[in-house]
Amino acid sequence: MGSKMIRSKITTSLLSLCITASLSTIAGAQTFRWAPPASVATMDPHASGDTTTRNILINDYEGLVRLSRKAELEPELAVSWEAVEPTVWRFKLRPNVTFHDGSPFTADDVVFSFKRATASSSDIRSKLRAIKEMRKVDDLTVDAITHAPNPILAQGVLLFMPILSQEWAKKHDAMDPADNRRTGKENYATRNANGTGPFKIVSFGVDGRIEMVPNESWWDKKEYNFNKVIISPIASDATRVAALLSGEVDLITPIPQQDVPRVKDSKDFQILTTPDARVVYLGMDQWRDELKESNVKGKNPFKDIRVRQAFVKAINMDLIRSKILMGAGLPVYAMIPPQADGWTDAFRDRPAADPAGAKKLLSDAGYPNGFSVGMDCPNDGLANMGEPVCVAITGMLARIGIKVDVQLQKQAMYAGKIGRRDTSFYIHSWGATTLDALATMGSTMVTFGDGVGTWNVGGYSNPEFDRLVAAAESEMDRGKRRDMMTKALSIHRDDVGTIPLYQPVLTYAARSNVTIVPRLDDAIQLRWVKFK
């Protein structure tokens, strides 16, 4: 700032501009400014299933439970919980909590929030499917009744249920989430927030800019030291980095990998990283009798495990992680990250890259000259790594005679194609948002049917695997349950049901004068932010 002042003295014509710049730097001590790539879709936490939206709104709306700095479950609006029956979890609620509008938090609000979050216009209702109903026991006690015994209800389900005030919703005619269907109407909750959390949203601009101020009557101990938060979304990577470098924001999420070295070398800035609770993997159609996009007719080469094993051996992940991901990918060879329950360290071991062995496996399977196959890949997804990773894999597979026809698509289009199982070979990623293997297995690995295996796009099916998952689902003993999950994951791994590639790393950049704790669900908890 000294040099800035000197310059302003010398160049009088620039005086006013420099003063403005200096003032904004001083104000930075009390205002925390954060630039994510996108803003919230809506202020209504039940109206959107969007992760970006959730990760911003958790600073205003709280749930019954939350994740600690170490991503362990801890009480939030509930103080304790226990299973009173296999299908009934009883939650004791935190007393003397008020919403931002001053109305008291009680069991009625929990019951109401469950109803609202499972209304037909809610976009988060599928996350809450495990719960049949919520019942008020007394003002500070609620029962969650589940369809089947559920040992991890709190972390698996209730982590995703923001609590709204019934009184407030009634007063503003926002009893249901705004409906984005044909008959829909916007409602008060779309642009106004009223949670119990550490920060109150005071404005939501046309440009997606959000301003928050501290909630002075928050129930928990305040650790942050600023009195205002400004969230300004910046979609363009280059502009977001420039905004940090010019001192206009204190934190950007994420920073593109190629800009990391430049920012790292400056003493004014720091790079923050955390493993993402996610695994990027390749899926192969193993259920159709003939692949939709291949020159092999009359049979499906992916049904032969030797072909799948050949693919594993052909792909040199060490090379991809060091040269393409440049450190933004950690080694895993299982469908869950190490942070999820069900993990064992053996899940890091990947068969060594061995093109010759891969070629032999292909010949044994009857494809000495390889074959061609289409591959679906998002060019703007997987943290922008989808395209380079797919292209690298194409090159590696070409060496064993597999001609991959990469179809790069916009994320929105790709997600639709994959979701309809209209694919032969694809890259995908799955987040273990509940930090438990079962959700991942239930969605991406069990034999698909209605409501189960929805994202088991490749159609992997093994009765033994399904049996273990079913047994684990209602096993109330955490140790036994964990063993079952680990065993099931090992089976899937031995079957090469998918080809896990890597665990992504979330990379942020911030000014050095601020302490930020990144979390593996990509959420920024503003209550953990502190200026030094």
Partner 1 sequence: MAAFIVRRIGEGLATILVVALIAFALFRYVGDPVMSIAGPDATQSDRDELREQLGLNDAVPVQFIRFVAHAAQGDFGFSYRSARPVSGLLAERLPATIELVAVGATLSLLLGTGLGIVVALKRKSALARSILTVSLFGVCLPTFVNGIVLIYLFSVTLHWLPSFGRGEVVPVGGWTTGLATWSGLRSLIMPGITLALFQLAMLIRLVSSEMTDVMQTDFIRFCRARGLRRGSILFRHGLRNAMMPVVTVVGLNIGSVIAFSAITETVFQWPGMSLLFIDSVRFGDIPVMAAYLVLVATVFVLINLTVDILYFFIDPRLRLAPATAAAQGPANG
254 is a site residue for partner 1 (CB under 8 A): no
Which of 30, 25, 32 is closest to 3 using CA atoms?
25
Contact segment (CB under 8 A) with partner 1 among 88-96, 253-261, 415-423, 481-489 equals 415-423
Length of the chain: 532
179, 293, 354, 364: which one binds partner 1 (CB under 8 A) = 179
Q: Which stretch binds partner 1 (CB under 8 A): 62-70, 411-419, 481-489, 502-510?
A: 411-419
At its nearest, how many Å lie between partner 1 and the CB of residue 46? 11
Coil vs helix vs strand at 274: strand
Q: Report the residue number, 235 or 352, with the smaller CB distance to partner 1.
A: 235
Smallest distance, partner 1 to C-beta of residue 203, A = 12
- State how far the Cα of 211 lies from the Cα of 439, in Å rounded to an integer: 35
C-beta of 362 vs 382, nearer to partner 1: 382
Provide the minimum distance between the beta carbon of 32 and partner 1 in the complex, in angstroms, as a whole number. 17
- Least distance to partner 1 from the beta carbon of 70, Å? 25
Indicate whether 26 belongs to the interface with partner 1 (CB under 8 A): no
212, 59 Cβ separation under 8 angstroms: yes
- The alpha helices in 105-197, defined as continuous H runs, are 107-117, 153-156, 166-171, 188-191
Element (H, E) at 373: strand 372-378
d(CA 373, CA 409): 16
Among 45, 48, 58, 379, binds partner 1 (CB under 8 A): 48
Nearest to 501 by CA among 238, 360, 305, 311: 311
Report the C-alpha gap between 61 and 43 in whole angstroms.
10
The reply on whether position 416 binds partner 1 by CB under 8 A is yes
Is residue 231 at the binding interface for partner 1, with CB under 8 A as the rule? no
Residue 506 CB, nearest approach to partner 1 (Å): 18
Contact status: 380 vs partner 1 (CB under 8 A):
yes
Q: Could you say which of 12, 20, 96, 369 contacts partner 1 (CB under 8 A)?
A: 20
Beta partners for residue 80, in sequence order? 92
Tell me: does residue 267 bind partner 1 (CB under 8 A): no
Please list every residue from 381 through 410 that binds partner 1, using CB under 8 A: 410
Rank residues 125 and 135 by Cβ distance to partner 1 and give the closer one: 125
Residue 18 within binding range of partner 1, rule CB under 8 A: yes
Give 321 or 428: the residue with its C-beta nearer to partner 1. Answer: 428
Minimum CB–partner distance for residue 451 and partner 1 (Å): 4
Tell me which of 71, 88, 137, 243 binds partner 1, using CB under 8 A.
243
Among 107, 178, 312, 396, indicate the residue that binds partner 1 (CB under 8 A). 178
509 pairs with which residues across the strands? Answer: 252, 271
What are the helix and strand counts (H, E) for the chain? 17, 20
Based on the shown chain and the rule CB under 8 A, indicate whether residue 411 belongs to the binding site for partner 1: yes
Binding mask 84-123 for partner 1 (x = CB under 8 A): ---------------------------------------x
H-helix or E-strand spanning residue 355: helix 355-364
Distance separating alpha carbons of residues 189 and 175, to the nearest angstrom: 9
Residue 466, burial from CB neighbour count under 10 angstroms (0-12, 13-18, 19+): middle
Closest CB 401 distance from partner 1, rounded Å: 32
From candidates 141, 192, 225, 454, binder to partner 1 by CB under 8 A: 454
Q: State whether the Cα torsion 235-250-34-159 is positive or negative.
A: positive
Q: Give long-range contacts, CB 8 A cutoff, 24+ apart: 175-183.
A: 175/116, 176/116, 176/119, 176/121, 176/122, 177/44, 177/46, 177/47, 177/116, 177/117, 177/119, 177/121, 177/122, 177/123, 178/42, 178/44, 178/47, 178/121, 179/121, 180/47, 180/121, 180/123, 181/121
Asked if 245 touches partner 1 (CB under 8 A), the answer is yes
Nearest distance in Å: CB 361, partner 1: 33
Enumerate residues 188-217 that contact partner 1 by CB under 8 A. Answer: 190, 205-209
Cβ 277 to partner 1 shortest distance, Å? 14
Number of residues in contact with partner 1 under rule CB under 8 A: 66
For 314, what's the count of Cα atoms within 13 Å in the CB-facing half-sphere?
27
Site for partner 1 in 136-155 (CB under 8 A): none
Under the binding rule (CB under 8 A), the answer on residue 42 touching partner 1 is yes
- Angle, helix 478-494 to helix 463-473, in steps of 10 degrees: 160
Task: Judge whether 462 and 496 are in contact, CB under 8 Å.
Answer: no
What residue ranges bind partner 1 (CB under 8 A)? 4, 14, 17-18, 20-21, 35, 38, 41-42, 44, 47-50, 123-127, 129, 177-182, 184, 186, 190, 205-209, 232-236, 238-240, 242-243, 245-248, 380, 410-417, 419-420, 430, 443, 450-451, 454-455
